[in-house]
C-alpha cells in the first residue's frame, strides 16, 4: 500500500449548532444551553495524543470567544486551528456582506485566542456551492490560503455533485487564488459515495469505511476525515419532539463512534490540512 498521509479534521462546534436542529433552536438561545464542547474536545485531544497524530480543528468563532483556554490547549499540543465561521450560518443563505462580516468576526475571535490568523476555512454544513462563487473572492481578500467547503455529492442539505474530487486551485473573479480541498468520496457505478466523516462514518460499518480508504490510498489518493466533538459524547443533551430523521442525524450511532474512531486512528496515518497543502505546493513547484 502506498504510504499516504490522510487528513484528520475536526469541526469544532457545540452540539446545538447541528444543521438537523436548525429549526428547533434559535441562536439567541445558545448562551443558555448546556455546553459540552470543552469536555468532548479534551476527549479527542487524549485520543490524538495516544495515537501521536495532529489534526486541523475548524473552529467556530462563537466557541473561540468562550473557550480561549481550549484553543490554547489545542495549539500547544501541535494541532492547527482553522476557521468554521462565527455563528454557523449557511453561506448560501447569506449575502456577500453578511458572509464577510461573519467570517471576519470568526477570524478576529481566533486571533484573540491564539495570536495567529487561520490559514483555512470550512463552511458550516458544506454550504459553499454553485450559487456562491463570491465566497471565494471574499476568502482570498481575507487572507485565507485554502478552503475545504466543497462536498462533491448530492445531499438534501448540501453538495456539488459535479465538483472535483481532488485538491484544485481556484482563481476567483477578483484575481485572488486559493486551494480547494474537497471532502472525500469513493466512486461507485458513476456515483460519488461519501466516506470517513459525520453520519457517514457513524452509520456505515467500520470494515467498509476502512476498505474504501485503503483502496484510495493504494492508488496514492489521500482521504480527508472529519468529526464533530458532540458525536463522541456518551451522554449528550437531548431535545424532545424531534422527528425520526432529526434523532438519527443528531444521535444515531454516537454510542459506538469512539471505538470506530480509535480504530481509524490506529489503522491509518494522518497529517494536518496546512501540512498537506505545504507539501502539495512544493511538489507542484517541483513538476514545473
**What are the E-state strand segments in 50-121?**
56-59, 80-83, 120-121
* 96: helix, strand or coil: helix
Grid coordinates belonging to 153: 455529492
Cell 485520543 found at: 47
Taking a C-beta distance cutoff of 8 angstroms, is the pair 224, 148 a contact?
yes
Going by C-alpha positions, the residue among 165, 136, 128, 122 that lies closest to residue 11 is: 122
User: Degrees (nearest 5) of the Cα angle 160, 214, 180?
Assistant: 30
Which letter does DSSP use for residue 22 in this model? Answer: T
Q: Kindly give, in sequence order, each residue whose CB lies less than 8 Å from that of residue 116, ignoring residues fewer than 6 positions away.
A: 81, 110
Which letter does DSSP use for residue 145 in this model? Answer: S
Cell 502539495 found at: 280
Residue 199 and residue 214: Cα distance in Å, rounded? 20
Residue 4 and residue 98: Cα distance in Å, rounded? 39
Q: Which residue range forms the structural domain that includes residue 165?
A: 5-287
Which letter does DSSP use for residue 49 in this model? Answer: H
The CB density around residue 51, as the number of other CB atoms within 10 Å, is 16
Question: pTM value?
Answer: 0.93
Domain tally, the chain: 1
Taking a C-beta distance cutoff of 8 angstroms, is the pair 6, 268 a contact?
yes
Residue 32 and residue 35: Cα distance in Å, rounded? 9
CATH number for the domain including 116? 3.20.20.370
Q: pLDDT tens track of the chain, all 288 residues? A: 458 999 999 999 999 898 777 777 888 999 999 999 999 999 999 999 999 999 999 999 999 999 999 999 999 999 999 999 999 999 999 999 999 999 999 999 999 999 999 999 999 999 999 899 999 999 999 999 999 999 887 766 666 777 788 999 999 989 999 999 999 999 888 888 888 888 889 888 999 999 999 999 999 999 999 999 999 988 888 777 767 665 656 665 667 789 999 999 999 999 999 999 999 888 765 443
Grid coordinates belonging to 210: 476502512
The CB density around residue 133, as the number of other CB atoms within 10 Å, is 12
Amino acid at each position: 500500500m502506498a504510504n499516504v498521509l490522510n487528513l484528520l479534521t475536526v469541526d469544532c462546534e457545540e452540539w446545538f449548532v447541528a444543521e438537523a436542529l436548525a429549526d428547533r433552536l434559535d441562536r439567541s438561545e445558545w448562551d443558555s444551553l448546556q455546553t459540552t464542547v470543552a469536555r468532548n474536545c479534551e476527549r479527542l485531544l487524549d485520543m490524538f495524543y495516544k495515537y501521536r497524530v495532529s489534526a486541523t480543528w475548524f473552529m467556530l468563532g462563537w466557541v473561540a470567544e468562550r473557550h480561549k483556554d481550549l484553543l490554547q490547549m489545542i495549539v500547544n499540543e501541535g494541532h492547527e486551528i482553522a476557521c468554521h465561521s462565527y455563528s454557523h450560518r449557511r453561506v448560501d443563505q447569506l449575502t456577500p456582506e453578511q458572509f464577510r462580516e461573519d467570517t471576519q468576526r470568526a477570524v478576529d475571535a481566533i486571533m484573540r485566542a491564539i495570536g495567529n490568523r487561520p490559514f483555512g476555512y470550512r463552511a458550516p454544513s458544506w454550504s459553499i456551492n454553485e450559487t456562491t462563487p463570491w465566497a471565494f473572492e471574499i476568502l482570498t481578500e481575507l487572507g485565507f490560503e485554502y478552503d475545504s467547503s466543497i462536498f462533491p455529492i448530492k445531499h438534501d442539505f448540501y453538495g456539488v455533485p459535479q465538483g472535483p474530487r481532488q485538491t484544485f486551485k481556484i482563481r476567483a473573479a477578483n484575481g485572488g487564488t486559493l486551494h480547494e480541498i474537497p471532502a472525500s468520496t469513493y466512486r461507485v457505478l458513476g456515483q460519488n459515495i461519501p466516506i470517513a466523516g459525520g453520519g457517514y462514518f457513524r452509520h456505515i460499518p467500520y470494515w467498509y469505511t476502512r476498505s474504501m480508504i485503503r483502496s484510495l490510498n493504494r492508488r496514492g489518493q489521500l482521504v480527508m476525515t472529519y468529526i464533530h466533538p458532540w458525536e463522541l459524547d456518551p451522554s449528550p443533551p437531548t431535545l424532545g419532539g424531534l422527528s425520526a430523521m432529526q434523532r438519527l442525524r443528531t444521535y444515531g450511532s454516537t454510542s459506538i463512534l469512539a471505538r470506530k474512531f480509535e480504530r481509524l486512528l490506529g489503522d491509518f496515518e494522518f497529517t494536518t490540512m496546512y501540512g498537506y497543502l505545504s507539501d502539495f505546493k512544493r511538489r507542484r513547484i517541483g513538476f514545473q
